[in-house]
Amino acid sequence: MESLGATTLDAIGLLLSGNAELWSIIRISFSTTFKAILIATPVAFLLGYLLSSSRFPGRWALISLFNSLLSVPTVVVGLLLYILLSRSGPLGDLKLLFTETAMVLGQVALAFPVLVAMSLASFKAADRSVWETARTLGASPWRAFATLAHELRYGLAAACIAAYGRIISEVGCSMMIGGNILNHTRNIPTAIALETSKGEFSQGIALGLVLLLMALGLNICITYLHRRSEALP
């Protein structure tokens, strides 16, 4: 077995060489997670706002449900979606199992509770006078909501970054409903698991470096956004 240093150098060489298989895996990972965040964010933020500002029967049950979903293992979400999307399942006729669309659906399910919980916290801490002033000046409810969201932009952006970090590194759901098919549904975490089990450590380390750099970048962004939000008057 090669030394760790030599294997790491091989991994960096793979990244810099533009290896088609490696960059296909990276593209699929970032593409599916980006689509999932785009789909989940608007609905999650609106729900977070409604939960923070409205009082209705079952409100606390909903909040407790979303908080509980934060800790549900990804493989359990994958299992439930597999049952729904399999041929014998209620959505089997759609033939979505082992496709990128299925992976996006799974990642939406994983990102949604994170976005709801973090946006709820932001909206609860918001100054209600922003909404009330906008409405007094004749803004529609949607325009007033957009104004409030702009005031909370740093906190809401941090919610998006946190949700993105959760879904891009998950293995269980993607493996179960994506199938880990090369050039179709193989993403970074599932590829790392597969290549490591085969003893192909160079590609596993190369993909791991991508995740590490992304994690570092996300943490820097979250820290920056928190500092900016604290600096606001």
Q: pLDDT at position 149, please?
A: 87
**If we measure between CA atoms, which residue out of 207, 205, 116, 103 comes closest to residue 162?**
116
Over 90: is that where the pLDDT of 7 sits? no
Q: What integer pLDDT is reported at residue 151 of this predicted model? A: 85
Residues 174-208: tens digit of each pLDDT = 999 999 998 899 999 999 999 888 888 888 999 99
Long-range contacts, stretch 200-208, CB < 8 angstroms, 24+ apart: 201/2, 201/7, 201/11, 202/7, 202/10, 202/11, 202/14, 203/11, 203/14, 203/22, 204/11, 205/7, 205/8, 205/10, 205/11, 206/11, 206/12, 206/14, 206/15, 206/22, 207/22, 207/25, 207/26, 208/11
- Checking if the pLDDT of 106 tops 50, the result is yes
- At 40-75, the pLDDT tens digits run 999 999 999 999 888 889 899 999 999 999 989 999
Domain boundaries, the chain: 4-231
The stretch 129-133 carries a mean pLDDT of: 75
pLDDT band at 120 (very low <50, low <70, confident <90, very high): very high
Whether residue 1 is predicted with pLDDT greater than 50 in this model: the reply is: no
- Rounded to whole angstroms, the Cα distance separating 60 from 192 reads 40
Model confidence at 132: pLDDT above 80? no
CA distance 126 to 201: 48
Q: How confident is the model at residue 232 (pLDDT cuts 50, 70, 90)?
A: low
DSSP summary character for residue 179: -
Q: Which residue is it, tokens 């409405």? A: 135
Give pTM, 2 decimals: 0.90
Q: What mean pLDDT, rounded, does the chain reach?
A: 89
| Residue 161 in tokens | 């970054």
Q: Residue 162 corresponds to which tokens in the numbers above? A: 């946190």
Q: What is the pLDDT of residue 126?
A: 79
CATH assignment of 4-231, given 3.20.20.70, 3.40.47.10, 3.30.420.40, 1.10.3720.10? 1.10.3720.10
Average pLDDT (73-102) is: 94
Q: Given a cut of 60, is residue 103 above it in pLDDT?
A: yes
Statement: residue 162 has pLDDT above 80 = yes
- ∠ CA 178-210-9, nearest 5°, is 120
For residue 134, the model assigns a pLDDT of 78
Residues 136, 117, 161, 82, CA torsion sign: negative
Under 8 Å between Cβ of 88 and 184? no
Structure tokens at 179: 């199938």
